[in-house]
Structure 1
Amino acid sequence: MKKIGIYGGSFNPVHVGHVEIIKYVMKEMNLDRLIVIPVGAPSHREDRLLEGEKRIKLLIAACMDMDRVEVSDIEVKSKGVSYTYDTLLNLKKRYKDAIFYEVIGEDSADYLHQWKDYENMLRECKFVVLKRKGYNYKPDHENIILLESPLYKYSSTEIRGLIKKGMDITGMVPDKVRDIITKENLYR
C-alpha cells in the first residue's frame, strides 16, 4: 500500500518552515506522496485569506523542485466550508490503495476532538503531530503519531506584517515565493 501524507493549512503565505515540514515529514514517515492542500473557506476561523488561486500559485512555486509532492486545489475549488474529513474521503476515492497520514501541529491536535467527524478520521487515517512552541501534546489514540520534530521559527502572520511594513522577507519564504509576492504586490 502507498503511504500518502495530507498537509493542509492556510499557507497565507507559504514560508520556509512549511517547506522544511514537508521535507521532514516525507523523510521521517517514508511517504510515497505528500499532498499539500491550502484551505478554501476555513471551518474554524474568520476567512481573511489571500485568494485561494494565489496561495496555490505560491505553493506550487515553493514545491516545484520537490519529488512526490503535489499541491491540490481540492478545498479551494470546493463550495462552502472546507472540512478535513470530507477532503480525506475525496482523496480515498482517488487513491483507493493507500494509507493516509494527516499532518498537523500540536496546536491543532489540542482541539482534534472538536473536528468534524474526528472519530471517523481516526479510523480512516493516522495523524502525524508535529511539535509547536508552547505545547506539550500527549497522544491518546493508537492512530496518533507524535514526531519529535524541530520547532520552526516563522509564522505567516509575522511575514504578512513585515510585508505590510515594506520590510524584506528574504530567507523567510522561498525566493520564488518572495519574487511572486513582490511582483504581484500581495499582502500589502
Structure 2
Amino acid sequence: MIALFGGTFDPVHLGHINMATECANTLGLSELRFLPNALPVHKQGPAISTDDRLAMLQLATASDPRFTIDRRELERDTPSYSLLTLQEIKAEYPQCAIVFLMGMDSFNSLDKWYRWQEIISLCHIVVYQRPGDAFAPSEALQDYLRGARCTEPAQLSAQLSGLCYFLPGQPFDAASSTIRNAIKHRQVVEPWLNNTVLEYIQAHQLYLSNRDNT
C-alpha cells in the first residue's frame, strides 16, 4: 500500500510531518510519498521557488525512511490535477492499493475537485480528523460516504480502492500562511518548524518580502 500526501508545502511545517507520521504509523505503511505541487489548481501558487520548497521538504522528511518525495507534479507544465498523478501511479502499480491522505478542509471540498468521482475510484481516501475539525460534507460526499466509509484501517488493504477512512489525529495548530506572515514580521516560528527547515529559511531569507506573502 502506497500513501500519497500532496500540497504546496510553502513551507512544510511540523503539522504536515505529524499528519504523515500518524498516517504511516496507523496504517503500517512502508512508504508515504509527499507530492509537492508545481501549479496548484485550488489555491494561489507559492511565491518562493520550487527549488526552495523542495529543499525544505527534503530536510523535513530526511529523518523518517518511510517518507519519500515524488517530483512528478513539479516536472509538469500543466496544473497539478490529482487525477493525473493517481492515473500514473495506478498504471505503475496496478495491484497496489493507493491511499490519498488529506485534511478535513480538503475532504469537505473533494466534490469540487477535477473529476473527483474518478479520483475515488482509483484510491482510498484517508482523512486526517483532528479534534474540533469541522465535518461538513456536501450531499454528494454524504452519498459517497454511505458506501465507502470504513472504521478499521486494515480494511484498506483488503481492496485496491474505493474506501474512506477517518484517521484520528492529534491537534497541531500550524498553517503555512500563518508561518509566512510570522516570518515576515520577525515573530517566533520555532514551535511550527523543523530546526533544519528554519535554518534554511533564515539562511536564504525567505518570506521576508511582500512578494512572498501575497
Scaled to the shorter chain, the TM-score interval is over 0.9
Which ranges of structure 1 fall in alignment gaps of 5 or more residues? none
Q: How does 1:19-168 map onto structure 2 within 5 Å?
A: 19-131=17-129, 133-137=132-136, 140=145, 141-142=147-148, 143-168=163-188
Question: Which amino acid in the other structure matches residue 9 of structure 1?
Answer: G
The answer to whether the 8 A contact 1:16-1:173 is kept is: yes
Question: Which amino acid in the other structure matches residue 45 of structure 2?
Answer: D
Question: Which amino acid in the other structure matches residue 166 of structure 1?
Answer: R
Question: Which amino acid in the other structure matches residue 38 of structure 1?
Answer: P
SS at match of 2:52: helix
The answer to whether the 8 A contact 2:8-2:46 is kept is: no
Decide which structure has the larger Cα Rg and report it.
2
SS at match of 1:171: helix
Cα displacement (A) at 1:49: 3.7
Alignment match, 2:196: 176
Alignment match, 2:6: 8
Alignment match, 2:160: none
1:95 and 1:168 mapped to 2: Cα distance? 43
Cα displacement (A) at 1:73: 1.5
Cα displacement (A) at 1:33: 0.7
RMSD over aligned Cα atoms:
1.6
The answer to whether the 8 A contact 1:53-1:76 is kept is: no
Q: Which runs of 4+ in 1 moved over 6 A?
A: none
Q: Number of matched residues?
A: 186
2:171 and 2:129 mapped to 1: Cα distance? 6
Deviations 1:65-88 (A, max 9, x none): 101210121111111211001011
2:89 and 2:47 mapped to 1: Cα distance? 24
2:89 and 2:48 mapped to 1: Cα distance? 24
* Identity of matched residues, %: 24
Cα displacement (A) at 1:134: 4.3
The answer to whether the 8 A contact 1:10-1:49 is kept is: no
Cα displacement (A) at 1:94: 3.0
SS at match of 1:97: coil
Cα displacement (A) at 1:45: 2.2
1:97 and 1:179 mapped to 2: Cα distance? 41
Q: Which has the larger share of helix?
A: 2
Name whichever of 174-183 and 149-158 sits farther off.
Answer: 149-158
2:91 and 2:31 mapped to 1: Cα distance? 16
Deviations 1:45-73 (A, max 9, x none): 22244222211110000000101210121
1:94 and 1:50 mapped to 2: Cα distance? 31
Question: Which amino acid in the other structure matches residue 88 of structure 2?
Answer: N
SS at match of 1:151: coil
TM score, norm. by length of structure 2: 0.82
